[in-house]
Structure 1
Amino acid sequence: MTLRFFNYPIPVLLVTLGFLAVPFLNVYITASLYDLDFDHFNMILSRIQPLQYVLSGLSAIIAYGLFAKKKFGYYLFLCFAFLILTYNVWMVFSVTLGKKIFLAGIRIHTADIIWNMVTTTILLGTIFYFLRREIAAPYLSGMRRGWRTKYRETHPVPFHWTNSDGEREGDGQTINISRNGILIPIPKHHFLSVGDPINLLLKLEKENREPISISVQAKIVRIDKENDGGEIAGVQLFFPIHQKEEKQIYEAFLVRVFAPRYPVSNPVNFFGKDNKVCQGTLLNVSMEGLYIETDSVLNQNEVCHVKIQTRSGEISVGGVVRWSNPQGKYGKPSGFGIQIDSIENKNLFRIWIWKQRFKLFHGR
């Protein structure tokens, strides 16, 4: 994996270097406390407490995880923070009960322990704030944008792009979208590079399904290769002040696209323009759309009618295939996504959706 060092956000880079320094700081602080020089390195190591070894090991792994854009790096940081804060709370609780705590033969006063807990909490809170803010940044993305907390929905939006000088252009449909960026396929001979500005024309829909196009300024933040040899580009969107209306149109569109979607596993029967009845499994559903896993994948823009089997009865919906995925790409099984246009029994459908909403362990 190619690591673009200078593309790392500065806060994350500083946090990574900080965790990388923890094992060395442990050795240096221990040597200073016991007034040992580094010629007696084995003696210094013998003075280091087991918890310090655990935290040093965790710190090194966290630093690697953040630098290599691995999901476990962030999760281990949460474990690290929990251990540190729990230990600090235990120390404060112990001294308030009258226990005396010593470090290198010197008694630590209650005020020092409380001050240490406050500064540690502030430091870890600051690190958490910046990691959580930057976790969705382009640098933390491997294929499929990698791990993130900001949600990005798989949704095909027709687009046309041109580079800044208008010499190169291309068309296609977005793979997924978010408030700040999109993932798009690009042709083989695109001659685009990371950092290049481009102009995008996004073809959206209003609430009444009326088509509307908006022009957006954007920048290429990453280019990845697909398994089939094609390439995809992560694009960051910019809405200048004079494009306030375009931004409102885009955000209103996302509100519908990001309608709460719930995982289900209901059997369905569906048929398209040839009226041939096919079977599949409903994987997720919202008031706006649904995704069906099946080997009988319908084509994009094909009108489809679906009958969902639920414990409360059969629910019939109709809509248009907005995303056809016969190859099972982008983290989804073979199937297709439907934009719902009509619901035969709306009350039953709403009640069923309401039940899914309150099931445990739902996640986007």
Structure 2
Amino acid sequence: MALHLFRYPLPIVLVAVIFFSIPFLNFFMTAALYDLNQRWDHVFERIQPLQYLLSVLGLVISYGLIAKKKFGYYLFLIFSIVLASYNLWMIAWISLGKKLFMAGMRIQASDIVWNAVLTTIILGLIFYFLRKEISAPYFSLVNRGWRAGYRETHPIPFHWTNMDGEREGDGFTINVSGSGALIPLPAHHFLKEGDPINLLMKLENEKRELISISVKGTIIRLDREENGSDLAGIMFEFLPVQKEEKEEFVRFLGRVFAPRYPVQNSVEAGRKEAGESSGELVNISTEGLYVRSETVYEMGEVISVRINTRSGNIPLKGIVRWSNPQAKYGKPKGYGLQIESVENLNHFRIWVWKQRFKIFHGR
């Protein structure tokens, strides 16, 4: 089980501290290099523009990681590219027979190569641990944070029991992936981090038949929502004898987690025919969509939807798989739909395909 400090994964804390210290390291290293330990006011005159850039990026990256903002990770990538490019430039410069100086002293080629290798190793380790942590349920798409890979909120009905079978509960998953899930827990569940748990999930196979998948897991995180209810992050542990169940589960995730793209088209919907209510698309894929709407349909309802696009309307039918009247888990008030049929399938697929290549989206 990952170590946590103030409920933050330890690698996240350490990396945030490292980036927070960059401006201070730049200052004191520059002071030492130019022997300005008694003339602190002159240090800023010696700091190079690139050092200022990396210092500002370091502070912003540190804040982004602690605040669980996407830009924290993206700026880290920019930081790495800038630093790696600078190291490559120095290596290319000396390979052409040029000389580099710092504080009046020539920098040796061996020092430049060694610095480039060390920088690559450190940035590589940081990248590895950040990816590992932000892919865990801790940094999921619920409003507490973010993840490296896109995971759409998807409710799968489940029944859980603890290992001795004395406690149990039912519900719908919030987030789910091939390695774990985020689930709600009832009051007085008496579970704690590190406890084993059994999950029985019901999902549809490729023929749209309802099947059951049983999996053991471990609770790796417990969080409390504003309304006082608890959420549990579960890490799955499929046994070797469950190979077929795991493969079926992965195929299911491949269907429901088809790549979704942010859109902002207006839609009309209704139980019998489109036009009963109106809303706005939040995202779309070939398998499903999410609609922002004041009218929220109940789970399991079959509704008709008409998407308004510049190239014409796209009528389709679908089953409500997620009803979200309280605007929970980072999504606006509305509902998620699993697409069952499309009137003009080719038109629909081409339109979704075009969304993939949009540089700027409405949201």
Aligned partner of 1:49: which letter?
A: I
Total equivalences in the alignment = 360
Aligned partner of 2:79: which letter?
A: F
Instruction: Using the TM superposition, give the Cα deviation of residue 158 of structure 1 relative to its aligned residue in structure 2, in angstroms.
Output: 0.4
Describe the shift of the 1:32–1:357 C-alpha distance in structure 2 as closer, same or farther (beyond 3 A).
closer
In 1, Cα distance between equivalents of 2:205 and 2:218: 25
Describe the shift of the 1:79–1:186 C-alpha distance in structure 2 as closer, same or farther (beyond 3 A).
same
Describe the shift of the 1:141–1:317 C-alpha distance in structure 2 as closer, same or farther (beyond 3 A).
closer
Describe the shift of the 1:309–1:20 C-alpha distance in structure 2 as closer, same or farther (beyond 3 A).
closer
Deviations 1:134-162 (A, max 9, x none): 32224446954512112221111101111
Structure 2 counterpart of 1:326 = 325
Query: Which stretches in structure 1 are left out of the alignment for 5+ residues?
Result: none
Contact map agreement 2:272 2:304 (CA 8 A) in 1: no
Aligned partner of 1:270: which letter?
A: A
Identity of aligned residues (%): 58
In 2, Cα distance between equivalents of 1:312 and 1:71: 33
Aligned partner of 1:239: which letter?
A: F
Deviations 1:264-303 (A, max 9, x none): 3333222216997222223322222222222121111112
Aligned: 1:219 with 2:218: yes
Describe the shift of the 1:6–1:215 C-alpha distance in structure 2 as closer, same or farther (beyond 3 A).
farther
Describe the shift of the 1:79–1:272 C-alpha distance in structure 2 as closer, same or farther (beyond 3 A).
same
In 2, Cα distance between equivalents of 1:133 and 1:276: 45
Contact map agreement 2:274 2:306 (CA 8 A) in 1: no
Structure 2 counterpart of 1:355 = 354
Describe the shift of the 1:193–1:315 C-alpha distance in structure 2 as closer, same or farther (beyond 3 A).
same
Structure 1 counterpart of 2:197 = 198
In 1, Cα distance between equivalents of 2:353 and 2:171: 36
Query: Which stretches in structure 2 are left out of the alignment for 5+ residues?
Result: none
| Structure 1, 98-107 or 60-69: larger mean CA deviation | 60-69
Aligned: 1:181 with 2:180: yes
Contact map agreement 2:321 2:337 (CA 8 A) in 1: yes
**SS of residue paired to 2:265:** strand
Deviations 1:230-279 (A, max 9, x none): 22222222212122111111101001011122333333222216997222
Structure 1 counterpart of 2:151 = 152
**SS of residue paired to 2:183:** strand
> Given the two structures, how large is their TM-score scaled by the length of structure 2?
0.84
Contact map agreement 1:27 1:44 (CA 8 A) in 2: no
Instruction: Using the TM superposition, give the Cα deviation of residue 34 of structure 1 relative to its aligned residue in structure 2, in angstroms.
Output: 6.2
In 2, Cα distance between equivalents of 1:307 and 1:71: 33
Instruction: Using the TM superposition, give the Cα deviation of residue 195 of structure 1 relative to its aligned residue in structure 2, in angstroms.
Output: 2.0
In 2, Cα distance between equivalents of 1:26 and 1:305: 61
**SS of residue paired to 2:208:** coil
Instruction: Using the TM superposition, give the Cα deviation of residue 91 of structure 1 relative to its aligned residue in structure 2, in angstroms.
Output: 3.0
| Structure 1, 335-344 or 94-103: larger mean CA deviation | 94-103
Structure 2 counterpart of 1:302 = 301
Structure 1 counterpart of 2:117 = 118
Describe the shift of the 1:115–1:351 C-alpha distance in structure 2 as closer, same or farther (beyond 3 A).
same
CA RMSD of aligned residues (A): 3.4
Instruction: Using the TM superposition, give the Cα deviation of residue 210 of structure 1 relative to its aligned residue in structure 2, in angstroms.
Output: 0.2
> Given the two structures, how large is their TM-score scaled by the length of structure 1?
0.83
Contact map agreement 2:141 2:147 (CA 8 A) in 1: no
